[in-house]
Amino acid sequence: FQSKLPHVGTTIFSTMSQLAQQHGAINLSQGFPDFHCPPALVELVSEAMRQGHNQYAPSHGIALLRQQISRKTEWLYGHRANPDTEVTVTSGATEALFAAIAAVVHPGDEVLVQEPCYDSYVPAIELSGGVPVFVPLTFPDYSVDWQLVEEKLSAKTRLLIINSPHNPSGAVWQRADLEALAKLADQYPFLILSDEVYEHMVFDGQPHQSLLTVPALAERAFVVSSFGKTYHTTGWKVGYCLAPAALTVEFRKVHQYLTFSTATPFQHAIAAFLEQQEHYLALPQFYQQKRDLFRELLRPSKFDLLPCAGTYFQLARYDQLSDLPDVDFSQWLTREAGVAVIPVSVFHHDGQDHRVIRFCFAKKEETLRAAAERLCRL
């Protein structure tokens, strides 16, 4: 039997979370909050269950949630998505990413991926018979080298995957990046998949540069986001995909046979909670405080912190502490210092190891303080 994904093993997120548990380490590896979601949201889920919203949701998502998503994106980004034909609720952003790729990538098609990149993109491309073409982000600021992107485009390029705010680096796009992309889109017929799950985690007063703010790009793009990130509910797995009607038709063909629909009570709860803009409007400040605290706490340590403009991840170099490769260092840190992290080389497909690790700071203040105390002892 020949594996369809010979290079895929267990994800680093499962591996490191398991190692953290095994060693009783503080888990700053896999990205998820260790604090509660808004209590009102929990009440709304219970209420939806009590009201009997416990059977299959419509495949595209309940109407009210699609309307609320549409309203929110119009208000934030000035983009009008028709809730009936251009919005689909998915089981997390992971499903949306997979369905978008499977919907448009034919065998032999090239898909441009900027690396380091989130780990679910490439397996989805490969399962569709596509060929990932990697474009390295500039190190150490993880900015896009647009000339390099253009050099990698070919007549076979079907899709370009972009991700801002960027996991794992925390880099965010500037307006000039959207403009550079628009220029290329003018000359080449590729489609775009924009992973914007960290849209509400952009710091220092900068705006999130959503692809939806550029109509010429939005008309050929899938834009994906996740309520797991926005509402501190990664375990609920509710996300969505916005795409023009013609692309949504293809997207929904995959979605209906991948999951058919997404958990009903969560959809009702989120649809109602979306009325409260305060939550997501406060999110940049909420996470910026955590970023600032964590960076301050690590100041006396031997870690060299890279800039963090968005997401809930902080990268660090550790050359003052060790010359181990980042995978070995991450395991050592978990075992010996009691803090689990993610080695960034796993997000590179050419094995590139800049000796950088990723901390997740979506944690309670006491967790960040306890972790920093351990890290400063090294």
Question: Which parts of this chain interact with ligand GLN (CB under 6 A)?
Answer: 11, 13, 30-31, 167
State the nearest-atom distance from the C-beta of 239 to ligand PMP, in Å.
Answer: 4
- Closest to ligand GLN by CB, 157 vs 230, is 230
Q: Per the structure block, which two tokens stand in for 160? A: 């370009």
Q: Strand 110-115 to strand 87-90: parallel, antiparallel, or no bridges (unpaired)?
A: unpaired
State the nearest-atom distance from the C-beta of 170 to ligand GLN, in Å.
Answer: 11
Helix ranges (H only) for the chain are 12-22, 39-50, 63-77, 92-104, 121-127, 146-152, 175-187, 215-218, 227-230, 245-258, 264-273, 277-297, 326-332, 365-376
Near ligand PMP by CB under 6 A: residue from 98, 118, 273, 312: 118
Residue nearest to ligand PMP (CB): 92
Contact 286, 172 (CB under 8 A): no
Instruction: Round to whole Å and give the CA distance between 258 and 335.
Output: 38
Near ligand PMP by CB under 6 A: residue from 226, 248, 330, 345: 226
Instruction: Round to whole Å and give the CA distance between 39 and 189.
Output: 46
- Closest to ligand PMP by CB, 329 vs 347, is 347
Near ligand PMP by CB under 6 A: residue from 17, 163, 164, 314: 163
Site for ligand PMP contains 48 (CB under 6 A): no
State the nearest-atom distance from the C-beta of 101 to ligand GLN, in Å.
Answer: 16
Query: How would you classify residue 129: left for phi > 0, otherwise alpha for psi between -120 and 50, otherwise beta?
Result: left
DSSP string, 328-355: HHHHHIIIIISEE-EEGGGG-SS----S
Report the site for ligand PMP in 227-286 (rule: CB under 6 A).
228, 234, 237, 239
- Closest to ligand PMP by CB, 128 vs 164, is 164
Binding partner of residue 226 among ligand GLN, ligand PMP, none, CB cut-off 5 to 8 Å per kind: ligand PMP
Residues that bind ligand PMP (CB under 6 A): 31, 92-94, 118, 163, 167, 195, 197, 226, 228, 234, 237, 239
